[in-house]
Chains A and B, each alone.
Chain A
Amino acid sequence: MISIQHISKSYKDAQAVRDISLEVKKGELFGLIGPDGAGKTTLMRILMTLLIQDEGNATMNGFDVIKDYKKIRNIVGYMPGRFSLYQDLTVEENLNFFATVFKTTVAENYELIKDIYIQIEPFKNRLAGKLSGGMKQKLALSCALIHKPEILVLDEPTTGVDAVSRKEFWDMLKKLQQKGITILVSTPYMDEAMLCNRVALMQKGKVLDIDTPQKLVENYARKLYAIKSNDMHRLIQDLRSFEKTDSAFAFGQYLHVTGKDDEVEATEFEDYLLKKDHVELEVFDIQPTIEDVFMNMMNE
């Protein structure tokens, strides 16, 4: 449904995207995962026909992003990273406006947005600028869906939204996927990666790996330890200077640590750290998460 081949794009002072290739299948919920500056927005804008790539080709549902930009603009729903609705129009006015822009009416496609819109309908006469972050996202999603797009492109839809609204938002995406809409979504949150069918891990304009999140985690062959002590700051410094440590990252309350090779045992860390006078020490094996996978890849 979305096909990207060897796309590169640089701005005046920096290369934003380098030689990216990936395929998104019809009906898939595909995630672009990566920190700020990974090139997610640039890639999405190229797909949305808003930017022209320096090299490579991309097609959306078979339409070329440069030649057939007009056709693409009819079949794709887009939610930019920044809230891009009219703050001085009401919820209802925004929705009606985008419906007419896409030559349709709210009534015609109400079925599709019903589940989402029903949550903000009580506030339909409120100005969009006065909505909470979560409600703004729901409205933006409704507006992006109003013309029944075949593909939905969402640029960091959950950034700056509270945890409850984030979960609700992903539930909605799942439902939309069941209705046959292909969804490309970007996020800096690793936990959201697990909710996608497949993800592309991105960093500094490059794709590090593309797979299902489950596979990515399974393929993570390293032995991983969680370590905690009473002085976390000193702990991370001590571990990083330990010759048998490969990597050590803060992960919530614990440090996630890998050894130089998988032969390094938990007791070796324990002995070393006890010698360094760490108290309340905890060292144990853990299952890696997608974030560990990502951290590991970034390191390589």
Chain B
Amino acid sequence: MKQFIGFLRKEFLHIFRDPRTMLIIFLLPIVQLLLFGKVINTDIQNSKIAILDQSHDNTTREITSKLMSSGYFVLGEELMPSDDVEDVFRKGKVKMVVTFGTNFEQTLERDGKVDVQLLADASDPNTARILTNYASGIINDYVKKEKLKNIELPNQINTEVRMLYNEGLKSVYMFVPGIMAMILMLISAMMTSISISKEKELGTMEVLLASPLKPIQIVLGKVTPYLLLSFVNALTIIIIGVFIFGVPIKGSFFLLMAESFLFILMALSLGILISTVAPNQMVAMFISVLALMLPTILLSGFMFPIENMPLPLRIISHAMPPRWFIVIIKNIMLKGTGIMYVWKETLILMFMAFVFIALSIKNFKIRLE
């Protein structure tokens, strides 16, 4: 036990004396979370649009003010019929142009039908789609409520939409679990694999192996500090998520932490496994980034929906531990479900951890070759 504490002391000294390690462990999670949460925001807010109003009657003015008061749009420019619409887009100032034809109100009242043109800048297809959907929604809503309220329409079907578990469609609800999976993977797997392969590279592993330390003591001594630090990180991310971004924790906090602990354990064993293969720090880093980080970001369903992937990638995504972890934390945090609903994912993570640990033990060498 004294041996183990001595080893831990040494590991913490390594970590606290290396500024780069400290930055990665303590600053990176916060910076990344804030970046993803604040800057890379796919929510539509205050998009600039232009209005080309050829009627200037009550209806068009009311529709315009409805659009502007929705919070999604701000008025970038009022166009004249003589203006070249394409020119406006080329300048890149507005994302959408709403055009009302002449005699808008009269046509609507006479024919019960009138056209509004929505021109969107589809060089960014996602934004264009969202903007036009929002705008047509607002316009239809207005027409239905204000203009057609006295008219009885036969056999009407109304769709009523409610976005459950994330009523505001906030993308940060998606990012917090994703970032958490990514950071924990990065710190746990990459940092442990680097710290073990560093000993190999600098030749200190030779001395450790020639000492009475058992392999299990070396591995546990290497892993425990990162286990603790990763856990602190998981807490930090959740705290920032809850208090800065307002992500709720509807389920059990205890279960959430227990699942995080399981995921960290899984990532640490993966890190040990990498270090048993990698002869030096460079290779360890390379494997961690290429084999872990990119798939975590791309294939875990964090950035891109798994359902949209081609079949081979969908199959590969099953082997991505973060995929299961993200499902678990989303369930606990957003839906408030208990272990009954995530036991399958939990078992998968446990199985992965078990496999990685078994492989590491099998691969860990008590000698130099």
- Residues of A in contact with B (beta carbons under 8 Å apart): 45, 48-52, 69-70, 73-74, 76, 78, 80, 82-89, 93, 96-103, 143
Contacts and interface: CB of A to CB of B under 8 A. Distances in A.
Interface stretch (B25-33, B48-56, B65-73, B361-369): B361-369
Given A50-B368, A83-B203, 12 more contacts: A48-B210, A50-B206, A50-B210, A69-B366, A78-B207, A80-B206, A84-B202, A84-B203, A85-B204, A89-B13, A98-B207, A102-B212
A74 B18 CA distance: 32
B211 interface: yes
Interface in B167-194: none
A80 B17 CA distance: 25
A87 B17 CA distance: 11
Looking at chain B's contact residues, the main secondary structure is helix
A78 B209 CA distance: 11
B211 A101 contact: yes
B211 A84 contact: no
B212 A76 contact: no
Given A49-B367, A103-B3, A73 B13 contact: no
A76 B207 CA distance: 11
B3 A100 contact: yes
B25 to A, nearest CB: 16
B10 interface: yes
A50 B209 contact: yes
A48 B368 CA distance: 10
Nearest to B208: A101
A50 to B, nearest CB: 5
Contacts of A51: 367-369
Interface in B314-369: 366-369
A88 B13 contact: yes
A6 B212 CA distance: 27
B212 to A, nearest CB: 5
A84 B212 contact: no
A75 B3 CA distance: 17
B310 interface: no
14 contacts: A49-B210, A49-B367, A50-B209, A50-B367, A50-B368, A69-B366, A82-B203, A84-B206, A84-B207, A85-B204, A88-B18, A89-B10, A100-B2, A101-B213
Contacts of B17: 88
Contact of A103 (B208, B210, B212, B369): B212
A80 B203 contact: yes
B137 to A, nearest CB: 60
A101 B208 CA distance: 8
A83 B202 CA distance: 8
B165 interface: no
Contacts of B207: 78, 80, 84-85, 98, 143
A49 B211 CA distance: 10
B7 interface: yes
A6 B205 CA distance: 28
Given A50-B367, A100-B3, A101-B3, A86 B14 contact: yes
A210 to B, nearest CB: 25
Nearest to A80: B206
A286 to B, nearest CB: 41
A49 B10 CA distance: 25
B210 A78 contact: yes
